[in-house]
Amino acid sequence: MKLLVINGPNLNLLGVREPDLYGSRTYPDLVRHCAETAASCGVEIETRQTNHEGTIVDWIQESRGEFDAIILNAAAYTHTSVAILDAIKAVKARVAEVHLTDPASREGFRRVSYVGMVAEKTFSGLGFGSYTAAILHFAGKDI
């Protein structure tokens, strides 16, 4: 099992960005967390971040044949991007949607999730634990 973790806009600023919401741990901490969790489950993982919607579309398209599944925190694009929804459908990617916070309990505009319309699972509101749960899911170790 080879997993691609895609993190969208502003997640590079973890630790600095609204720490009351997103916590004090940094983006490199998140990358390390994903690597350690994957290693403990015996799965391969690659973790990336971009602030650009088209780059997320490119990475989803290019994942075909190279990765078995995608763990996607599209951040703000979750709530706006039909292009990301279409890319997931186009390559029939297996996707788990993840969020550090619980968007459903925040502002109304965060209640729509285009990613959630095609994701096989959503894990949110657990901080780094949302990524842990998604990795365990694809490793066949759902809790």
Looking at the annotation, which residues are catalytic?
22, 99
Minimum CB separation of residue 91 from ligand DQA in Å reads 22
> Could you give the CA distance from residue 84 to residue 2 in angstroms, rounded to a whole number?
21
Contact 88, 115 (CB under 8 A): yes
Q: How many separate helices (H) and strands (E) can be counted in the chain?
A: 5, 5
Q: Which is nearer to ligand DQA, 13 or 35 (CB)?
A: 13
30 binds ligand DQA (CB under 6 A): no
Minimum CB separation of residue 21 from ligand DQA in Å reads 7
What letter would DSSP give residue 113? Answer: -
Q: Which is nearer to ligand DQA, 107 or 142 (CB)?
A: 107
**The token pair that represents 64 in the structure block:** 């075909």
For 36, 44, 65, 69, 135, the CA distances from 1, given in Å and listed in that order, are 15, 6, 12, 8, 10
Interface residue with ligand DQA among 1, 2, 10, 51 (CB under 6 A) is 10
Site map for ligand DQA, 93-112, x if CB under 6 A? ------xxx-x------x--
What letter would DSSP give residue 105? Answer: G
70's enclosing H/E stretch is strand 69-73
Site map for ligand DQA, 54-93, x if CB under 6 A? -------------------x-xx-x---------------
* Binding site residues, ligand DQA, CB under 6 A: 10, 73, 75-76, 78, 99-101, 103, 110
